[in-house]
Structure 1
Amino acid sequence: MGPKTGMLSCAPRSTKPACVALAKAGGDPARLAGPSDMACTMEYNPVHVKAMGVWDGRRHDYDRTFSNGCEMAASTGPVFQF
């Protein structure tokens, strides 16, 4: 499967799950928190994510590779789900 891209636009007080998660993290993807009760296997199937944008006037750039999609979802919640 090839790369996937998406665009997320969050208005103030948006109810989109990804926007709610980013609001809790102050717009910084590095501060995202996924579900605390999620258990992932040790499967190695790398997933690379990248986010760039402006939140509340501050620029945020995020670039990270997770060992698998479950680890990504456990760390970032709904933000990188397409």
Structure 2
Amino acid sequence: MCYPFVGGTHSNAESACRELGAVGGAFDSLSADPQSACPAVEDPVVATATGVWCGRQVRWERTFGNSCVLRTTTGSVFAL
């Protein structure tokens, strides 16, 4: 949970909330870390999020080429 206070069981909730807050809760607007490079290995992973963001229901899902791409694109949000 990010609002009205940071809480829940996320291992790095403060960073995840800050990063998601910077894009207004729009998961598709999270961007890759320009300093990171990932191997070109196809090993797809699916990230999903369901819940409530600032009073509105959220259901989001995206497939990434591998776990490195997931981590560098979504930062702390899916670093569970």
TM range (shorter): 0.7 to 0.9
Question: Shift in Å at residue 64 of structure 1?
Answer: 0.7
The aligned counterpart of 2:3 is: 11
Residue pairs, 1:1-82, within 5 angstroms: 9-12=1-4, 14=6, 16-82=14-80
RMSD: 1.7
In the alignment, the residues of structure 1 paired with residue 45 and residue 2 of structure 2 have an alpha-carbon distance, to the nearest angstrom, of 24
CA-to-aligned-CA distance 1:23-78 (integer Å, 9 cap, x gap): 00101211112422111110111111111122122222211111101111121111
In the alignment, structure 1 segments of 5+ residues that lack a partner are 1-8
In the alignment, structure 2 segments of 5+ residues that lack a partner are 7-12
Q: TM-score, normalised by structure 1?
A: 0.77
In the alignment, the residues of structure 1 paired with residue 55 and residue 3 of structure 2 have an alpha-carbon distance, to the nearest angstrom, of 13
The number of residues matched between the two structures is 74
